[in-house]
């Protein structure tokens, strides 16, 4: 919608590429801004294929579902407004059977009432406070991120870091104790309890298997120096 700033068109296109969207339609862009955005270094290829339309009606003519976006409270609540998290889920369910158009307003004025009248409902980005609007490129990135969201990802633990085995942990403990003995850290009177403390400390470190040879190498070197 009538973007004035080529950086915003470029940032929007980049976010589309980041999240796997490909069809960009631009409504009545300022000529210079659109030309600059297309020719920017590193412009996403989808920007070169962007389609230009004179009006919102033309741009969304073939889309059964048109969603307007906003980050500010709307003056007149003539449209159902859904929070981004909820609205994106509704859109994901409609896709890919139903073509969905996401409509963003210009940096300066947002979507006009005429633009809004083409929308079936609105999606609101849940910012704190409603007085500060969002940067256009950031709003596009958030909406597409949420649309591309895999609902299971929040519970999907990353691949576990392979932890050191108990045997490896004990190897480290033994060598550390050696070094502590050599350096006079361990007092004969309290040697027993100190050993236990050190053993527990090594367990708390949550050493990964990959780090075992590194730690052993360090301790070996320190021991060598202590003994020489």
User: Which residues of the chain form contacts with a second copy (CB under 8 A)?
Assistant: 7, 11, 14-15, 17-20, 44, 71, 80-83, 85-86, 89, 125-128, 132, 134-135, 137-138, 141-142, 145, 148-151, 153-158, 161
Q: Are 108 and 4 within 8 A, CB to CB?
A: yes
CA pair distance 141, 121, nearest whole angstrom: 20
Rank residues 45 and 54 by Cβ distance to a second copy and give the closer one. Answer: 45
In the bound complex, what is the minimum distance in angstroms from residue 113's beta carbon to a second copy? Answer: 16
Rank residues 109 and 185 by Cβ distance to a second copy and give the closer one. Answer: 109
Q: What does R_g of the chain's alpha carbons equal in angstroms?
A: 29
In the bound complex, what is the minimum distance in angstroms from residue 9's beta carbon to a second copy? Answer: 12
Rank residues 19 and 53 by Cβ distance to a second copy and give the closer one. Answer: 19
The three-state secondary structure class of 7 is helix
In the bound complex, what is the minimum distance in angstroms from residue 18's beta carbon to a second copy? Answer: 4
Rank residues 44 and 101 by Cβ distance to a second copy and give the closer one. Answer: 44
Rank residues 17 and 222 by Cβ distance to a second copy and give the closer one. Answer: 17
Give which of 105, 94, 96, 99 is closest to 68, Cα–Cα: 105
In the bound complex, what is the minimum distance in angstroms from residue 192's beta carbon to a second copy? Answer: 33
SS (H, E, C) 85-154: HHHHHHHHHHCCCCCEEEECCECCCECCHHHHCCCCEEEECCCCCCCCCCCHHHHHHHHHHHHCCCCCCC
In the bound complex, what is the minimum distance in angstroms from residue 102's beta carbon to a second copy? Answer: 16
Q: How many Cβ atoms are within 10 Å of 65's Cβ, its own excluded?
A: 17
Structure tokens at 107: 């940096």
In the bound complex, what is the minimum distance in angstroms from residue 93's beta carbon to a second copy? Answer: 12
Rank residues 77 and 193 by Cβ distance to a second copy and give the closer one. Answer: 77
Give which of 102, 105, 93, 141 is closest to 121, Cα–Cα: 102
């Amino acid at each position: 919608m009538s973007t004035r700033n080529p950086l915003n068109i470029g940032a929007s296109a980049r976010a589309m590429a980041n999240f796997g969207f490909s069809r960009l339609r631009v409504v009545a862009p300022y000529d210079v801004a659109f030309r600059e955005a297309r020719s920017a270094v590193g412009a996403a290829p989808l920007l070169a294929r962007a389609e230009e339309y004179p009006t919102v009606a033309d741009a969304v003519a073939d889309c059964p579902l048109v969603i307007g976006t906003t980050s500010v409270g709307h003056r007149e609540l003539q449209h159902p407004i859904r929070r981004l998290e909820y609205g994106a889920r509704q859109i994901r369910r409609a896709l890919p059977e139903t073509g969905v158009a996401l409509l963003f307003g210009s940096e300066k004025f947002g979507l006009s009432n005429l633009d809004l009248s083409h929308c079936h409902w609105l999606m609101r980005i849940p910012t704190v406070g409603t007085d500060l609007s969002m940067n256009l490129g950031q709003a596009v990135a958030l909406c597409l991120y949420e649309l591309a969201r895999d609902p299971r990802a929040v519970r999907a633990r990353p691949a576990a870091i392979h932890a050191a085995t108990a045997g490896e942990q004990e190897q480290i403990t033994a060598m550390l104790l050696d070094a502590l003995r050599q350096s006079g850290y361990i007092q004969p009177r309290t040697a027993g309890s100190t050993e236990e403390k050190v053993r527990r400390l090594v367990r708390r470190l949550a050493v990964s298997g990959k780090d075992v040879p590194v730690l052993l190498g360090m301790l070996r070197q320190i021991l060598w120096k202590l003994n020489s």
